[in-house]
Structure 1
Amino acid sequence: MTRWGITIPLTGVPLTAHRELIERLPDLGYTDAWSAETAGADAFSPLLLASQWAPQLRLGTAIVPVYTRGPGLLAMSAAALAEAAPERFVLGIGTSSPVIVSNWNAAEFAKPYQRTRDTLRFLRSALAGEKVSAEYETFSVSKFKLERVPEVAPRIMLAALRPGMLRLAAKEADGAITNWLAPTDVPKVRAEIGPDVELVARIFVCPTEDASAARALGRMLISSYLTVPVYAAFHDWLGRGEALRKMHELWAAGDRKGANAAIPDEVVDDLIVHGSPEACRERLQSYADNGLDTPVIALLPTGGNPAEQVEALAPR
C-alpha cells in the first residue's frame, strides 16, 4: 500500500491553528504527517500536537539530526512521542548539514556515517529499556537508562542519499528517508535497499499553474540545497553532475543570481512538482509507481490558502 504524507507545520500557519486541518487529514486520505527540523519548529512538538488531534495518523520525523541532541536526550524525546502515539511514531534520524550542525548549533560535523550508525545502535538499546554503557566510535555512554520506556519502541529510519548510508538503512534500520529526487531516480535508490525496505521521500510541491513562478522558487531552493556537498555528490551519483556543473561554478564564485539562472528548466521540473492540483497528484503518483512507498508532500508557498491546497492534493 502506498502511503500519502504531508509535512507539518505548514509555512506561515501557527502551530495551534493546524488543529482543524490535521483532524481532517485521515478523512482526506492522508496516512502520515512528518516534521522537519532546520530553523523553524523543532521536529517533535508538531507531532505531539498531531498525535492528540488525529490518532489515526502515522507520525514521523524527517529528520532529527544526530549531532544536535545528546544521545540520551534524543532517546528521551523519541520515547515521549512513542508513548503519546503508541505504534504510530517513526523516528527518522540523519546527519543534517554542516550549516545546521556547526554554524547554528555549535557542534562538530565529523564522521557522519559513523555518527549515524552509532546513534542508531544506541537508540535501539535505549528504547528497548536497556541500561546502556558502551564505547562507540564517535561517542561513549555510561549507565544510561530511560525512566519511561515506551511499551512499543518506535521504528527508526535513516536519512540516506548515497549507497553507503542506504545500505546501512537497509541492514540495520527500519527504512530509508531521502529527498530531492525525481520519479525516475527512485529505481536507482530502491536498488540499493532492496524491495522490502520502506522508502520515504519528501517531495517539494508547488501547486500553481504559473510555471515561471514555480521555477523561480524551485531554482532558489535547488541552488541553496544542491550546492551542499552531500547533495552535490548525491546528484552526481544520480547523473545530474553535468546539468548542474554551471550552477556549482557560479555559486562557488559568489554569483548567486547567476547560479540560479544556470539551473536548466528540465532539472527544476524533475525535482519540483508544480502545476494544477490534478497534475501534481499525478506526478506524486508517479513516484509511487516507480517504487516509492511513502511520498511526503512539502508544500511550497504560492500565496494561496495552504489548507485548501492540502485538501486539493489529497489522494483520489
Structure 2
Amino acid sequence: MPQRWGITVPLTGVPLGDQRELIRSLPDLGYTDVWSSEADREDAFTPLVLASQWAPTLRLGTAIVPAFTRGPALLAQSAATLAGLAPGRFALGVGTSSDVIVERWNGIPFTEPYARVRDLLDFLRRAFTGEKVDAEWPSFAVRGFRLGIAPEQAPPVLLAALRPGMLRLAGREGDGAIVNWLTSDDVRAVAPHVREYGKPDAEIVARIFVLPDVPTDEARAIGRRMVAAYLNVPVYRAFHEWLGRMELTPMWAKWAAGDRKGAVEAIPDAVVDRLVLHGPAGSVREQVQAYVEAGVTTPVLAPLGGEPGAVIRALAARP
C-alpha cells in the first residue's frame, strides 16, 4: 500500500458532531490523512479542527479552500490557527474553485483566477513568517497586516490544478498540486508539469471517487450523475478536452442544448468506470494503487455512498 492513505471528511451520512468515534478509528485502520472540501456543505476548516483533537496523529488538509471566498488575511488567520492546533500535520490546499461557487453563490467576481492564486501563494508565504505585509499584487492589495500568532511551522501550501499553467504554478511556487476528476492514466499527463521545476518529490494529492461493494448498475447510475454534474462545469470540461476525452462531446452538446437527461445518458460506461471506482472493496483498493504507481503521493478516497463505518473499514489500508 502507499505510504499515505487519506479519506475525505466529514464522512457523509452522519452529523459532523457524531463522527468522533469514526474519526478516532481511522489511524488503526491504516488511514494517515483526512482532507476536507468546501462547496455547499460544511466549511473546510471546522471538520479538521475536530479531527485534530479526535485523532491527533492524522495529517490534515484542505482540498480545497477557494481563493476568492475569504479575504487573504482571513485565510491566513484560519490556516495559522489550524497549523497551531496540529503542528507539522496540516497542509493548506487552495484553488480557484469555480464560477458557480465564487460568483453565483457568493456574489464575488470570478476574474483572473490564475492571478488570484498566484498572488495568494506569495502573500501566504510572507504572512506565515509573521512579518508585516504591506504590498500590492495585480489581483489584490494587503495593507499593514501581520498575523497576531504566526505558526511555529508554516504549513505547506498546495494548489488545486488541472491544466498545464496551473499545474506548473503548483510545482514552481507551491508545495505541490491537488487534482481530482482524473483517471490513473491521466496522472501520467499531469505529474510531469508539477515536477518539472526541480521538485521530483513535489506532492500530488488526488481526490478519488469510490463506490465499494455497490452493484455495477447502481454504481454507474450514481457515477453518471456525478460526471454530468461536474464535467459540464467549464473548468472541468476544459480539463478533459485537454486530456483528449472527446468521447464526452455528445454529453457536452446535449447539456448545452438543455437536454439534461440526454446528457446523462450519453456518458459512456467506460468513462464512468475510470472516474468513479467501483466493484469489490479489494478491487477498489487496487484501482487506487494504480494512481500511486502513476505518480500520486497522497490518494484521498471520497466515498459516494454507503454506511460510513462500513465504507471506511472496507477501504482500510489494513484490511
- Name the TM-score, length of structure 1 as normaliser: 0.97
- How do 1:236-315 residues align onto structure 2 when only pairs under 5 Å count? 236-240=241-245, 242-301=246-305, 304-315=306-317
Find the residue that maps to 2:205 and give its secondary structure: strand
1:223 to 224, 228, 233: 228
Q: Which letter does structure 2 place at the counterpart of 1:48?
A: V
The 1-side partners of 2:227 and 2:254 are apart by 14
Q: Is the 8 A contact 1:78 1:91 kept in 2?
A: yes
Secondary structure of the 1:55 match is coil
Secondary structure of the structure 2 residue equivalent to 1:143: strand
Q: Which of 201, 204, 212 is the equivalent residue of 2:209?
A: 204
- Cα deviations across residues 14-40 of structure 1 (Å, max 9, x unaligned)? 111111111111111011000000010
Which letter maps to 2:6?
Answer: G
Distance (whole Å) between structure 1 residues aligned to residue 258 and residue 39 of structure 2: 24
Which runs of structure 2 are paired with 1:89-100 in the superposition (5 Å)? 89-100=90-101
Distance in 2 (alpha carbons) for counterparts of 1:209 and 1:94: 32
Q: Is the 8 A contact 1:2 1:288 kept in 2?
A: no
CA distance in 1, matches of 2:308, 2:216: 18
**1:82-93 matched pairs, under 5 angstroms:** 82-93=83-94
1:35 aligns with 2:40: no
Q: Distance in 2 between matches of 1:175 and 1:73?
A: 22
**Offset, 1:122:** 0.5
Q: Secondary structure at the match of 2:267?
A: coil
Would you identify which runs of 4 or more consecutive aligned residues in structure 1 move more than 4 Å?
A: none
Query: Which amino acid in 2 is paired with 1:109?
Result: F
The answer as to whether partners of 1:35 and 1:62 remain within 8 angstroms in 2 is yes
Letter in 2 for 1:250: K
Give the residue type in structure 2 aligned to 1:230.
V
Aligned length: 313
Question: What do residues 158-188 of structure 1 show as CA deviations (whole Å, max 9, x unaligned)?
Answer: 0000100010010111110000011111111
d(CA) in 2 for partners of 1:54 and 1:37?
21
Amino acid at match of 2:317: P
Q: Give the Cα–Cα distance (whole angstroms) in 2 for the partners of residues 221 and 209 of structure 1.
A: 16
Which letter maps to 1:270? R
In the alignment, the residues of structure 1 paired with residue 236 and residue 50 of structure 2 have an alpha-carbon distance, to the nearest angstrom, of: 32
Asked if the contact 1:208–1:214 (Cα under 8 Å) also holds between the matched residues in 2, the reply is no
Shift of 1:289: 1.4
SS at match of 2:100: helix
Unaligned runs of 5+ in 2: none
TM-score by length of 2: 0.97
Distance 2:102 2:254 in 1: 25
Structure 1 CA distance for aligned equivalents of residues 46 and 22 of structure 2: 17
Q: Distance in 2 between matches of 1:283 and 1:119?
A: 35
Q: Percent identity?
A: 60
Q: Contact (CA 8 Å) 2:13, 2:307: kept in 1 or not?
A: no
Asked if the contact 1:211/1:274 (under 8 Å) is kept, the reply is yes
Quote the offset at 1:208 in angstroms: 2.8
2:62 aligned residue = 61
User: Bigger shift: 8-17 or 43-52?
Assistant: 8-17
Deviations 1:102-142, CA, capped at 9 Å, x for gaps: 11111110001000001111111111101001110000010
Deviation at 1:193, TM superposition (A): 1.5
Partner SS state of residue 243, structure 1? helix
Partner residue, 2:112: 111
SS at 1:202's partner residue? strand
8 A Cα contact 2:212 2:314, kept in partner? no
Q: Which amino acid is 1:309 matched to? A: V
Matches within 5 A, 1:93-242: 93-194=94-195, 195-240=200-245, 242=246
CA-atom RMSD in angstroms? 0.9
CA distance in 2, matches of 1:269, 1:58: 29
Q: Secondary structure of 2:109's match?
A: coil
SS at match of 1:116: helix
